[in-house]
Structure 1
């Protein structure tokens, strides 16, 4: 958690806050998506996280992907912006958020996959063979990925 969120939590406690984040759907050549098994809530998600003060969403998405997966994203394409009641989440520590997640997709990245302290495992999954324990705010994104699979996978060619 960055300093801004720590300071905000000191002021508001665990009450709901609006949190803007960015995440990236990374596709491999087989059309599978990269997901991370988180340590904090034992759920799977796409690489991503909260914006830092003054940071652009594209910068946050690329930074989070690098921090969480070891991969440098070379090109981002806007996938969608997700908000609303279905993006509510209560963290295991009791902190509540309503997420606004700016989601990007990419086929263009390089580096070696590695897990940082936020994850237990990172791996690619076929979109119809995802693990069952998906982090709740990621579910609307996955629903959209399944609906728009051809649109974004074909962008790799």
Structure 2
């Protein structure tokens, strides 16, 4: 997929593209959620990323979570699908995207957290004590997570 996006960028430059991604809200046994501190925009997010050509969204969510955290995720459940103007994002390099993010949740995983080059820190947070600097396209996900917590 990285080559696909790279190839697309050769055609369109920095202009907006539609990007479909999958992410996972990972809960630990005490109900805290795992967030990653991104290296590209110095903000926090949930593990996730672009879906590769021909890949199922569940596979993408599991793959991205493993690549970014080293955790093998089990028992994915759909949390929500996010799209629209509020998921527009302009990357620090100038690339513009309108994201469609299929967000899963899971409290079942194996392994120990180890980061790849996309994250500089990983930490479990109480939902009511999430970091303030949330990556812009992740803010609607956090708002929905907090809303559901109060229901």
TM-score (norm 1): 0.94
For residues 40 and 74 of structure 1, what CA distance do their matches in structure 2 show?
A: 28
Displacement after TM superposition at 1:150 (Å): 7.0
Where 1:78 maps in the other structure, the secondary structure is strand
Q: Name the residue aligned to 1:99.
A: 99
Q: Give 4+ residue runs of structure 1 displaced > 6 Å after superposition.
A: none
- For structure 1, the 5+ residue unaligned runs are 152-157
Q: List aligned pairs for 1:80-91, cutoff 5 A.
A: 80-91=80-91
Q: List aligned pairs for 1:56-67, cutoff 5 A.
A: 56-67=56-67
Q: Find out whether 1:139 has 2:139 as its counterpart.
A: yes
For residues 146 and 89 of structure 2, what CA distance do their matches in structure 1 show?
A: 22
- Count of paired positions: 151
For residues 133 and 88 of structure 2, what CA distance do their matches in structure 1 show?
A: 17
TM-score (norm 2): 0.97
Which range is displaced more, 70-79 or 1-10?
1-10
Q: List aligned pairs for 1:33-72, cutoff 5 A.
A: 33-72=33-72
- For structure 2, the 5+ residue unaligned runs are none
Q: Name the residue aligned to 1:154.
A: none
Where 2:129 maps in the other structure, the secondary structure is coil
Displacement after TM superposition at 1:149 (Å): 2.5
Q: Find out whether 1:10 has 2:20 as its counterpart.
A: no
For residues 32 and 16 of structure 1, what CA distance do their matches in structure 2 show?
A: 34
Root mean square deviation of aligned Cα: 1.1
